[in-house]
Structure 1
Amino acid sequence: GLAGFGIGNMVQVNSMAHALQTTFNVPLWVTGLATMVVVGLVILGGIKRIGKVAAALVPFMCVAYIIAGIVVLVVNVDAIPTAFSLIFTHAFTPIAATGGFAGAAVMAAIRFGVARGIFSNEAGLGTAGIAQAAGTTTSSVRSGIIGMMGTFIDTIIICSITGLAIICSGVWTSGESGAALSAAAFESAMPGFGGAILTIALVVFAFTTILGWSYFGEKCWEFMVGTKAIWPFRVIWVLAVPFGAVAQLDFAWLLADTLNGLMAIPNLISLLLLSPVVVKLTKEYFARDRLAPAV
């Protein structure tokens, strides 16, 4: 219930605010207040049309983002082999790292890699089950298989394109961080509109994520406390938005990472305890599929 305020609220609006400030010079507090108002209209005011419009834009913006990322890679195609070499070199043999520090550097790489991977696909947090429970499928195994595709698309495709774009364009040494770094990579390959494409896509993605995570958090609190917790949670959720916009980037991520860990630990323990049930249901599902008559 609390983790959503990190990964699903503060970090989302923080990334959105910094991207808008970098690309369009919009003050952080303006983005925070505007987002709070619009999120409040949907969650508190019941104006679901705004949320539906944003959700309808997600597939379009996702395709536009991938195309833009590929354009960046095509423009910098000669740098792709060097980028892969740089990634593996720094991951396993950190530059200028000796003795005990080398191990610390690799450990830090793993720590941040796992943390950011969780942000990308939410693997192990238990949120996917909440979303899938609202679906119409009668097969939990099929629902799980479809959900697993999200991890591949998020992490292997989109994150790889983004990471390679940042390295190939050379902006990774610019001193920027967060969304501003990605915007700089897109802008370098598509001057005048590359940064705008990324920023607009990020605004749509972040806004719909804030709405989606409000549902996750609400369901958690409703399960623990009852329906009387719904409206207080919604109010606090909306009021937390502007604080995320003006917070320091490092603080927002640290808070979210900490809360994610606190949510993942009990969920992963539950997954281990339920693994025999998962194996049994999966075997039955595929056995039934093999026995089904051909159409």
Structure 2
Amino acid sequence: MKEYLSTFTEFIWGFPMITLFVLAGLFLTFRMGFLPFLHFPHIFKMTIGQLGKKKASHGGGISPFAAFTSALSATAGATNIVGVPVAIAFGGPGALFWMWIVALIGMTTIFSELVLGITFREKNKDDKWVGGPFYYLSKGLKWDKLAWFYAFGLMLEVVPSVMVQANSVSVQVHHEHNVSLIIIGIVLALVTGVIVFGGIERIGKLSAVLLPIFVIAYVGLTLFVIVMNASKLPSVFSMILSDAFTPTAAIGTFAGATVVQTLRWGLARGLYTSEAGMGTSAIAYASADTDNPVRQSFWGMIAVMIDTLLICTLTGLTVLITGVWKEVEVGKAASMVSYAFKTTLPDWLSSYSISIFLVFFVLATVGVIIFYGESQAELLFGRKVRFIMRFVYLGAIVIGAVGGLKFVWELLDLLLFLIVVPNIIGIVLLSGVVKKAKDAYFK
């Protein structure tokens, strides 16, 4: 089963998904008039520039910033600390370049799906805003079957997604502190249960307070390691660019990679960490208290910049500039950042800081993605199934904590494929709605 799964994911995340994602992203970028590049000052002013200013209420929902941090929690998680080293371990340094390309193209993609998610949202039985791909595929595109397929795929995709997050923490904590994998999984599941039973409001409030603190701390430590090895930066950037377009030779523990493998791991991890094209961020942003879909959707572009262009880049540079990517075994790729920190920082600070970062990021991430999955379960099968899936997801955390690294990531990629395809079809066909909203906003 593992062999077939590996063969299929290698194929589908090669030429087929590369073509689909890149063509769709370029089409949307052209159609929206290069929005994130030509209007960046305005986008920054209407997002980061508005922090601290009191906002008027527009009919319920969590604050726009809480919606942003909730969605960012689902992306600025273990994928930043673990997913990037995994991409490099299997695809080589050039994978980081393709993560950048995904981010640049993905900014307009995520903007489009957020506009659609808010435009076609509605109030549920509890008088709370709900939205996302299911709503714009069914109400906007009028393709009920495609909407159902997406929602069912996302409901399943959350299982390997939480397994990946739990595996990221368990590998690190077990390696550094010799704690049993099963105990780590049970503790994570119990704490996550407390978070998710509080709903999106509790998740939003926690994320809005804690996420900026942990992101700034992580950025500070990675920058310190990079600055201390700054003389190697030119050769590292040269290696990233050259390996993006040529096969990477085997060196040390790195087994080598073809260009297709580099593309495959860079694209898949870049897409998962930014969520551009997945449509999941639209579920969180649809719960925001806002009267303007375009203005709220600017936060999505800022999230991609922070998550992929900043945090993932710093993680990638940290493991490359210290050389640990060719010294750490592939099976221990999840601990690469910890190894990289130890080359510059004291051992105790390296091991405890990465463990703390991973635990917080994973708890924040898992809380949001479980909310995504159970909301789809309720849409399709009702509230009872929503609670059943909640316990399925909590059980998956325990299983993921003891699961194999590459198998879990490849299972995730298989189910990512099932939700990305219908979502991209939807946002491309509904791009006229997005363009109309965008043009009206700027007029």
Task: Determine the structure 2 residue equivalent to 1:249.
Answer: 405
Contact 1:68 1:194 in 2 (8 A): no
Give the whole-Å Cα distance in 2 for the aligned partners of 1:127 and 1:29: 29
In the alignment, does 2:279 pair up with 1:126?
A: yes
Q: How does 1:1-295 map to 2 (within 5 A)?
A: 1-7=155-161, 9-44=162-197, 56-96=209-249, 105-176=258-329, 177-192=332-347, 193-287=349-443
Q: Paired residue for 1:292?
A: none
1:89 offset after TM fit, Å? 2.0
How far apart are residue 226 of structure 1 and its match? 2.0
Letter in 1 for 2:388: P
Deviation string 1:179-209 (CA, Å, 9 cap, x unpaired) is 3011111121112212321221111001111
* Distance (Å, rounded) in 2 between the aligned partners of 1:24 and 1:217: 32
Secondary structure, aligned partner of 1:158: helix
Aligned length: 279
With 170-179 and 265-274 compared, the bigger mean Cα shift is at: 170-179
Q: Distance in 2 between matches of 1:280 and 1:53?
A: 35
Contact 1:55 1:208 in 2 (8 A): no
Unaligned runs of 5+ in 2: 1-154, 251-256
Distance 2:396 2:371 in 1: 15
Structure 1 runs of 4+ aligned residues shifted over 4 Å read 48-55
**CA gap 1:214/1:65 in 2 versus in 1, 3 angstroms:** same
Q: CA RMSD for the aligned pairs?
A: 2.0
1:214-265: per-residue Cα shift (whole Å, max 9, x none)? 1111111111122232211111111111100000001110111111111101
User: What secondary structure is seen at the aligned counterpart in 2 of 1:198?
Assistant: helix
Residues 51 and 211, structure 1, Cα contact 8 Å, conserved in 2:
no
Looking at structure 2, the residues matched to 155 and 31 of structure 1 have their Cα atoms a distance apart, in angstroms, of: 28
The one-letter code matched in structure 1 to 2:214 is M
- SS for the counterpart of 2:289 is coil
CA distance in 2, matches of 1:267, 1:141: 19
Whether contact under 8 Å (1:188, 1:194) holds in the other structure is no
**CA-to-partner distance for each residue in 1:121-170, whole Å, 9 max, x for gaps?**
11111111100111101111112111111111111111111101101111
Residues 228, 166 of structure 1: alpha-carbon distance in 2 compared, 3 angstrom cutoff: same
8 Å contact from structure 1 (residues 12, 206) kept in 2: yes
Structure 1 Cα separation of the partners of residues 363 and 372 of structure 2: 15
Distance (Å, rounded) in 1 between the aligned partners of 2:207 and 2:185: 18
Percent identity among equivalent residues? 38
State TM-score, norm by structure 1. Answer: 0.89
* Matched residue SS, 1:163: helix
Alpha carbons of 1:45 and 1:122: their partners in 2 closer, same or farther (altered >3 Å)? closer
Contact 1:171/1:184 (CA < 8 Å) preserved in 2?
A: yes
Letter of the structure 2 residue corresponding to residue 178 of structure 1: A
Structure with greater helix percent? 1
CA pair 52-281 structure 1, distance change in 2 beyond 3 A = closer
Following TM superposition, by how much is the alpha carbon of 1:55 offset from its aligned partner in structure 2, in angstroms?
6.1
Q: CA deviation at 1:51?
A: 8.8
Distance 1:52 1:284 in 2: 32
Taking structure 2 as the reference length, the TM-score comes to 0.60
d(CA) in 2 for partners of 1:137, 1:232: 32
2:345 counterpart letter in structure 1: M
Instruction: Give 2:119's aligned residue.
Output: none
Q: State how far apart, in whole Å, the 2-side matches of 1:258 and 1:141 are.
A: 32
Query: What is the Cα deviation at residue 108 of structure 1?
Result: 1.3
1:63-121 superposed Cα distances (whole Å, 9 cap, x missing partner): 00000000010111111111111112222122459xxxxxx811111111110002211
Alpha-carbon distance in 2 for matches of 1:185, 1:265 = 36
Whether the 8 Å contact between 1:222 and 1:229 is mirrored in structure 2 is: yes
8 Å contact kept, 1:79–1:168:
yes
Gap runs ≥5 in structure 1: 98-103, 288-295
